[in-house]
Amino acid sequence: MDFKSKFNNWAERINKALDGYIIEKDTPEKTIYSAMRYSLTAGGKRLRPVLGLAVCELLDGDVEEVIPFACAVEMIHTYSLIHDDLPAMDNDDYRRGKLTNHKVFGEAMAILAGDALLNSAFEIMLEASAREAEGGVSPKVLANRIKAMGIIAKASGASGMIGGQVVDIESEGKKIDKERLLYLHNHKTGELIRASVSIGAIYAGKDENIMSAFSKSLGLAFQIKDDILDVEGNCEKLGKKTRKDGEKSTFVTLFGLDVAKEMLKEETNKAVLALEKVCADTTFLKDLAYYLLDRQS
Amino acid sequence: MDFKSKFNNWAERINKALDGYIIEKDTPEKTIYSAMRYSLTAGGKRLRPVLGLAVCELLDGDVEEVIPFACAVEMIHTYSLIHDDLPAMDNDDYRRGKLTNHKVFGEAMAILAGDALLNSAFEIMLEASAREAEGGVSPKVLANRIKAMGIIAKASGASGMIGGQVVDIESEGKKIDKERLLYLHNHKTGELIRASVSIGAIYAGKDENIMSAFSKSLGLAFQIKDDILDVEGNCEKLGKKTRKDGEKSTFVTLFGLDVAKEMLKEETNKAVLALEKVCADTTFLKDLAYYLLDRQS
């Protein structure tokens, strides 16, 4: 199967699983389910969960088992976008070509939908783990589940993704240095991408850091590309306002477009090089790295 | 030891533990730790965590073990208050006699501090459970930890506390019926109070529902008293604006002050009666029920 078909297959499995996790119940709080589903099904690339599945498979793990955790990461990613888009934060009206959550459901509901998605991530991971515990899996497996949840929790928390968003907000309108820019993105985008790779490895019974050189470079490349697209990208293809980072320091504003493009190539090559050291068929991940390099949205 | 001293002792243990969980690190995202600590140390009663400890002790569990989970519940409660106070929600300037989080740190940081506290709740529970797993506890204990985290997650989620807040927001300015009012409070306030009692029971190796008749009535009584205090309470003692529920349906607006007071007594008595059926020394919890009945803040 070619890269794109394989990616789409996995993304579809994730979409199906996500669809089953958030059901529109006819209970008094039903609006929250619509608000959660709205953003969860708004056309995300599913990069993070697919990474988790791909890493798990190539390291000989059972992909089926990692799905709730991969979906949890996608829920956390989605909640972070809903909250980032709020008027008090980036104040964005469009995301992935659709109105942002608060534009459709109002600010209060958007805040709560974000809260609920973050909460839901832990609900589904804990439910899946409780089912396994009841099924009588070994203490080693249970310990591994707890470890995987802990890695995701730390990656998305104050010293992880949220911390990156704090630095982003506090850096607005200021010229920041390279060190701070790297810190910002290593946390805001990098942590969750690295966590996705780590849980894939853990579910395959491997050390969580076995592919961290790859995931670190991939995460950084991803962000540099985002900054380049913000300048060069097509607003329609991106589905959001471009050049909105005018008041923010980015890899492009800090180093210029040409250097940023060089950095992107360099980090992508570093990611691919890191894969060479993994004793497994890493073709899909290499293709993924180059696909992200060339993406237009 | 008299009731008040015992309550304060436990609250102090919780305060000390919370203090150790959120440290003001000197990292680029340091503002978030200040914002989290600000609300976490703003003088909460610690009702929920104390309930967890008290139930665990009277059912012969090890109180020390339940502390991270009790603190997690308090963090979730605190985050919900920060988000409830936001301009897009209740738009409150004061809470417990201090400026609300967004009044001090700004809206963006308050949203993130709430997110981070919710996230942190799972971080500390998972860290504690991972330590236990490494220490080689039995699979039964690990399964119980996963179950306890699952109960907390569900209680605070879209079908629990967040759902209650959704109904609250959507009921604003409308006259709602008793059924909806009960649904609202059973979710918004009740779920987390019931979860606190459940985790105390689980940590003592008992069924999580062993004291649910008590916790259900206690939670409801707590909310009725809140509604009464909103009308009769002293603004200074409460540390927040009173009569702010003017645009909201409450037990007082729906039934009148006298009936609400009768309902409060009735639910408190039901809670105390439920305790009679528990084969243990429930003196502290009885005192707690009456203490909450008479509280002025």
Q: What ipTM describes this predicted complex?
A: 0.96
Backbone phi, psi, residue A43, to 5°: 95, 30
Interface test with A, best of B75, B92, B126 (most A CBs within 10 A): B126
Question: Between B130, B156, B183, which is nearest A146 by CB?
Answer: B130
What sign for the dihedral angle of Cα A219, A223, A228, A230?
A: positive
**Does A100 map to a domain?**
yes
Handedness of CA B248, A114, A155, B132 (dihedral sign): positive
A120-129, A227-236, B261-270, range with the lowest pLDDT: A227-236
For the record, the structure tokens of A201 come out as 């490895």
Q: How does pLDDT run across B25-53, given as a tens digit for each residue?
A: 899 999 999 999 999 999 899 999 999 99
What's the rounded Cα separation, in Å, for the pair B188 and B183? 8
How far is A139 from chain B, CA to nearest CA, in Å? 5
Closest residue by Cα to residue B188 from B217, B159, B150: B159
- Which chain B residue has the Cα nearest residue A114? B115
Instruction: Give the C-alpha separation, A97 to A202, whole Å.
Output: 35
Total domains in the fold of chain A: 1
Stretch B253-281: mean pLDDT = 95
Is residue A261 included in any domain, yes or no?
A: no
CB contact under 8 A, A109 and B169: yes
Closest residue of B to A76, CA-based?
Answer: B119
Confidence of residue A238 (pLDDT cuts 50, 70, 90): low
**What is the pLDDT, as a whole number, of residue A232?**
87
| Chain A contact set for B39 (CB, 8 A) | none
Q: Which of B88, B109, B127 sits opposite A111 (nearest CB)?
A: B88
Q: Which residue has the tokens 């491997």?
A: A206
In a domain, A173, yes or no: yes
Provide the angle, in degrees to the nearest 10, between the axes of the packed helices B191-203 and B212-232. Answer: 140
The mean pLDDT value for A266-276 works out to 97
**Pairwise CB contact (< 8 Å): B162 & A36:** no
Where helices occur in A135-190 by DSSP H, the ranges are 139-156, 161-171, 178-185
**Chain B residues within 8 A of A79 when measuring between CB atoms:** 115
What tokens were used for A126? 């804990």
Q: How confident is the model at residue B156 (pLDDT cuts 50, 70, 90)?
A: very high
Which are the contacts of A274, defined by CB distance < 8 A and separation ≥ 6?
Answer: A211, A213, A214, A217
Neighbouring-strand partners of residue B179: none
Phi/psi zone of residue B60: left (φ > 0), alpha (ψ -120 to 50 degrees), beta?
left
Instruction: Kindly report, residue by residue over A216-230, the tens digit of the pLDDT.
Output: 999 999 999 999 999
Q: Scanning the structure block, which residue is given the tokens 């927001």?
A: B169
Determine the average pLDDT of the residues in B77-96. 96
Tokens of A246: 């005018």
Q: Does A252 fall in a domain?
A: no
Which H/E stretch holds residue A117? Answer: helix A107-134
B156 contacts in chain A (CB < 8 Å) = 119
The tokens describing A191, both together, are 């942590």
Q: Is pLDDT above 70 for A245?
A: no
- The long-range contacts involving B142-145, CB below 8 angstroms and separated by at least 24 positions, are B142/A133, B142/A139, B142/A142, B142/A143, B142/A146, B143/A130, B143/A133, B143/A134, B143/A142, B144/B202, B144/B203, B144/B205, B145/A146
Q: Is residue A171 part of a domain?
A: yes
The Cα–Cα gap between B284 and B102 comes to 36
- Classify the phi-psi angles of B148: left when phi > 0, otherwise alpha if psi is within -120 to 50, otherwise beta: alpha
Beta carbons of A153 and B32 less than 8 Å apart: no
pLDDT (average), residues A262-276: 97
* Residue at B161 is within a domain: yes
Which two structure tokens, joined as six digits, stand for B276? 């009679």
Residue A250 reports pLDDT greater than 70: yes
- Distance (Å) from the C-alpha of residue B287 to the closest C-alpha of chain A? 33
CB contact under 8 A, A162 and B32: yes
pLDDT of residue A249: 87
**H or E segment at B185?**
helix B178-185
Residue B62: give the domain boundaries.
3-209
Could you tell me which of A50, A47, A42 has the C-alpha nearest to residue A79? A42
Q: What is the CATH number of the domain that holds B51?
A: 1.10.600.10
pLDDT (0 to 100) of residue B238: 67
Find, among B139, B140, B146, B183, the residue nearest to B165 by Cα: B183
Query: What pLDDT is stored for residue A141 in this prediction?
Result: 93
Our measurement of the distance from residue A116's CA atom to the centroid of its chain's CA atoms, rounded to an integer in Å, reads 17
Chain A residue with Cα closest to B143: A133
Is the torsion defined by CA of B271, B273, B275, B278 positive or negative?
Answer: negative
3-state secondary structure of B296: coil
What is chain A's mean pLDDT, rounded?
Answer: 94
CA end-to-end distance (rounded Å), chain B = 23
Residues of chain B neighbouring A156 (CB-CB closer than 8 A): 119
Does any domain span residue A217? Answer: no
DSSP B99: E
User: Given this model, what pLDDT does residue B245 score?
Assistant: 54
Classify residue A251: in a domain, yes or no: no
Average pLDDT for A12-17 = 97
pLDDT in tens, A173-205: 898 999 999 999 999 999 999 999 999 999 999
Total Cβ atoms within 10 A of residue B268: 23
